[in-house]
Structure 1
């Protein structure tokens, strides 16, 4: 109904009997709804009749089972989260008016229900199947606010006898569609429903307002997800003179590239009739589903998952040879570590070690805390190696389940498992053949997959999952972890033979707190990047601010520093970042005390937080990691660092340093 005026969206309860007479005439086939019935309702009655909806229906079909509903809620998680807070704000209104607020997806499936829980309404809700998992589309339940709003894309109020189905005519409902804030597509509806005597004209205005609020929250969530995607991608994007890079959001929409989209499409062989860069679809097994165009190769795509959330997809495709910047090999090798900003002697020694080992094919094990930039070093090793013109393939061993990781690494054959692609698929090890494979978070590699990786390293052979044929591969492995793999070996969580094979060249990347003299250079580097990325005008840090940054311990290392610099530049009020602009924690300068363990204020606070959380959870390390939003391996590392024993979490003083040192010594001696 493109011509519908705002006033026509509202129902008129004063003509309920006249509408009922028109409905009876319509159902008997003696005429249309007539002048008394709004055009939007007339049109909906006709669509309902054409869809063969049973006008005697008194309820929606039974809700889907719990398993299907959980899968749907996972798929619509952002819509559910965005709707939850808005629905909570409307509870008082719903209690006063005897109504419920209903959130549905684009198919009319109820995702969430909030509102009056008094017995009469609760019984009516259950009897009508206005429940999570039920289908209220127009083709299923006839004219109703949810289904009709989704069908027309417009807000509407449907009162009593305006419903197509006689058994639902005791209800009045008001619904507005929810649109994707990026592309405007309808993705769901928000509805306020109650029994007919609860009619209120303002309910539709509230539904429209709630939809707008949800859309605003969805936009904020999408922007946050894109920033997190950029943050995760920062360390893994290759040089722009050799590769095209395109970032896709969680819905598969391209939103950022390192060049003109049209030129990238031409270079990659897109059909000339393709006007815009295509979207990637989604499916349960692959973020890009089955809609990936043939000219975008699957090995170019890498999903980005952070703490279980799929943030988007990165496409890294090689530029055609004619478009690449031609550099002598020596110059290319010299530029390999250009992204490692440093002046510190310890860091310089690490860079030179990486440069020397790059010429060989020996495995390299990069060790260091989260955020120190281990992937930057992995890229540098590849770029300085004879394999620089071949693929650099990245796999995060901690981001997917064991089953997905197995197929991701080794590939699979047709029919190897339910959902396997017809014809099978090559794994990342095969994709890296001739080049380099970077296995991040190698300490998370499941124990039963470790012999398969060891065989690939020792013999250069793999078998795809479900295959008996051996395939030859030739790749250079660079692995990284923030775990102490020697302890993992001692505790039988990591194979000793694989550890010794990986640790041919172990390289420790120092944390930022051990090279505070690099902070001024890093700040200058990140300021320049932020200017380019966000189009920010000139901005600089005052010398006093730099000094305060150098006094901070940076538990998140270089990544934390970069995020802080970008945040201060985006929110700064002047051309100079003063000490007063810095976060309070850094303003306190965090001078080290001579107290217990020589910890800084930040470390002491972190130690007490971890110890207190561990104590409240009865020493459960996994639960503590989940509560703090940290990886379990990170919590274990911090327990060792601060001398916290898990078994002391429920009672005794958690930071018993002396006992921890004794235990550690006994462990080594055994």
Structure 2
């Protein structure tokens, strides 16, 4: 249910007409006047059906302190998320004659903050912690009506159904869980009628958004702790199909065998959508068959996860025997009639060169993921090779491989590139329209690089495509069915982006069904020489030259460099060096000047805290290190700070502390 903008706000000008409408409504004299908002009219009808006393002077008596304490304990998560917002309300609403109230889904107030006079006046009508302000108890009011309609509500004076609260004006909106949008509470700002303002509703909506963002951050941290706890169990699953559910019963991770195992067991479970399965909620697991458990799912397949006595999630483990018939069925469906052996599946990762065990483990996981169609999120710095991994995961799979970088494009261009557009959708649109990248990837793989750069208001459109399997070209009203495998990549920490309100939590969990972190080159130093030699031979071969080699000094310089641009930067430096080299031996003189300037000062610096004459104090060692860094950089403080691995502002502070000048000489 949604309201027109004019329907959302009360209008004090119509106070007399609303009062007359209320009296007419109670007398049964036909429909209320046209000046009565339909939102209020519908609420009055519900109050009449619930037999609410229109002459009630206040809300019900609050529960006891003990019951309120227990209720707050059950709502601890929401109270902790709202604590900073309520604390801000304590200061912001002081001297305004208004208060802020936080209530649960039953309309029971958990906490109030704000103007002390307003809080005192509110207690006379039981607008206080422990009292329930649901519609069926207190009639039309912002808290109860917002819960009834699930949207922002403003109720002013005579619009209240009960006579005793018609001196008040209030604005409220519901709080929704960041995972699936389920209502978890309501936030309200109330005051006596003279405090009415349309802006109060905007204040409430903004404050509620802050609380929801904090809930999202908390939920994400909780899920990551759950994943850390369950990772060992997932690794030991063997051929069993395993699905990890969070404490609410939402699937958050599945191994490569899960889909086949569930299908073989005669079940159906959309592992890509954040849909709750209440029977697998952590608090409901235990002995016996959980209430609401699907027929195909056996109780013995359910493993509760408990940390320090607290249920944190659930594992669904479908035994390998339950899916034993799957390969046979597939063989019957796809085996060629000639009886020839099926062709081996091509390995898309043969182009990745590495001797690092950590990266090899990531490649092994990526190979497993390439055999499924679950969405994958690749984490890694710029130049680390995310697209190579995306192509490897796509491998020899059916359909096209389509890539799009979400960074560096304007919102309008990104929208048209992603969703396509119809002919005449905008000025300059191509005749006949354009197929977007999503549609082009139908039946194949879509790789969205730097997905963290996608504008926030465009993210719901992508989420809708992923959940519903259909898209609308810009300027079209007819949906187009699409089915593709999504691989996304980012160098950003999307958990921090969610906490900052720049990325949607529901989209994150939709694209990060499985995730891989690709380590930067500086974390696998052994690969530097291996890759350098690989690129050297590759680029010499492309130039029609015989194999070459590189001097020991070049290898030492390559090892000393921090490689902020990762493998891409190494490749470019070696390619340029090959083009400039006059012989088969690569020497320092063909390496870029900027590269050498960054390497030479670092290689000339001693270990921090160690003086030529032996071990010295930390302070003396730091001063000596700073002196030498400044001398090596020729007084360039920016370069010196970079070589020291500290911020330039920090270097300034240390210069003052040790009495050093740009030349590194004591003042």
Shorter chain as denominator, the TM-score bin is 0.3 to 0.5
Q: Give the TM-score normalised by the residue count of structure 1.
A: 0.48
